[in-house]
Structure 1
Amino acid sequence: MAAFEQFEIQPYQSCYAREVSELFHLCVHSINHARYSSAQLAAWSAAPRSAKHWDLRLSRSKAWVVLAKGALATSAMCIGFINIETHFSQQGYLDSLYIHPDYQRKGLGECAYLVVEDWAKAQGYSRLSLDASYLSKGLFNQMGFTQVQASYQQKRGQIIRGFYMIKEI
């Protein structure tokens, strides 16, 4: 487990959009898993998207950033983000959870998810849903999600398989 006093989870602000963009691209291209080809990873994220893209995407939902602080960084550094849809037909859909590869498997993804779940309960949501990747499916199983069906995303001519999961809260 990480020393959590060195990390902070706070609501997303536009000033983190550039870091989120770079972090997303880094996370995707750090994947080393037999189920993902280099063509699929390139389709998933060909290059970092604009800060404007990420700001619009995260501002349309409820989002948080995970920051490294203190001795780990000279200033608060964005090492993760998570967001949940609030205004679309899939209200309660967990859209993104990404943690910097150097900080994965330290409990930060779980902590970020628990912030979202607490917020969702306070809003009166009764269910959360998501499309998990091969890499994140285990985490979401541990957090109480169950697989409903296989899911597929098509990106730039590539099919990326996932798992549609739900959790009653």
Structure 2
Amino acid sequence: MFSVIAYQAGYATSVSQLFHDAIHAIDEVHYSFEDKSAWSSKPRSAYHWHKRMSRSKAWLMIDESMLIDGQPKCCGFINIETGFYTQGYIDSLYVHPAYQGKGIAKTLYQTLEQWVVEQGYRELTVDASSLSKALFLSQGFKLCHRSYQEKRGRVIMGYLMKKLL
């Protein structure tokens, strides 16, 4: 059974490993081995992820049927920036490779959208990967233009997308 919960500090290590595993599971049709290695050369610290998630509004998808160290397994996460200049920017959306294709990303996104509507946000933006572009299009986002992020000397291509609420 799956549940969406608010981010909790005890999941920071799981989030870090999930991020790394999800990046490296991307088919090389989308991003090369070198791109993926620049994007995530190794899992970042739990401290890094806790700080990143707690400075934004974040949710986790957990698998209550799979316990790891006594807590349900984190199988996906999403977070959105809430600061004045970055409000409405979707920072991350990742699903563990073993759970992809089960509607988890869509459920996490819909949880986020419901929250932002309740908060009165007027728009959402995201730098979508070539892999997540289709999901965001299916949720009503419009493509603004290609975007590029530099990671460890490599330029990673994506798509800046926007949705008016």
Q: How does 1:35-54 map to 2 (within 5 A)?
A: 35-54=30-49
Q: Which residue pairs with 1:25 in the alignment?
A: 20
CA distance in 2, matches of 1:125, 1:111: 19
Aligned residue pairs: how many? 162
Q: How does 1:146-161 map to 2 (within 5 A)?
A: 146-161=142-157
* CA apart distance, 1:36: 1.1
Which segments of 5 or more consecutive residues in structure 2 lack a partner in the other structure?
none
* CA apart distance, 1:102: 1.1
Does residue 1:100 correspond to 2:88, yes or no?
Answer: no
CA distance in 1, matches of 2:105, 2:143: 19
Q: Which residue pairs with 1:7 in the alignment?
A: 2
CA distance in 2, matches of 1:152, 1:116: 24
Moved more, 86-95 or 119-128: 86-95
Q: Percent identity?
A: 49
CA distance in 1, matches of 2:37, 2:114: 34
Calculate the TM-score normalised by the size of structure 1.
0.94
CA distance in 2, matches of 1:117, 1:11: 14
CA offsets per residue over residues 69-97 of structure 1, 9 Å max, x none?
13xx1341001100000015121000000
Q: How does 1:19-168 map to 2 (within 5 A)?
A: 19-70=14-65, 73-74=66-67, 75-168=71-164
Letter in 2 for 1:166: K
- Root mean square deviation, CA, Å: 0.9
Structure with the higher strand share, 1 or 2: 2
Letter in 2 for 1:114: Q
CA distance in 1, matches of 2:120, 2:30: 37
CA offsets per residue over residues 98-134 of structure 1, 9 Å max, x none?
0011111111100000000000001000100000000
Calculate the TM-score normalised by the size of structure 2.
0.96
Which segments of 5 or more consecutive residues in structure 1 lack a partner in the other structure?
1-5
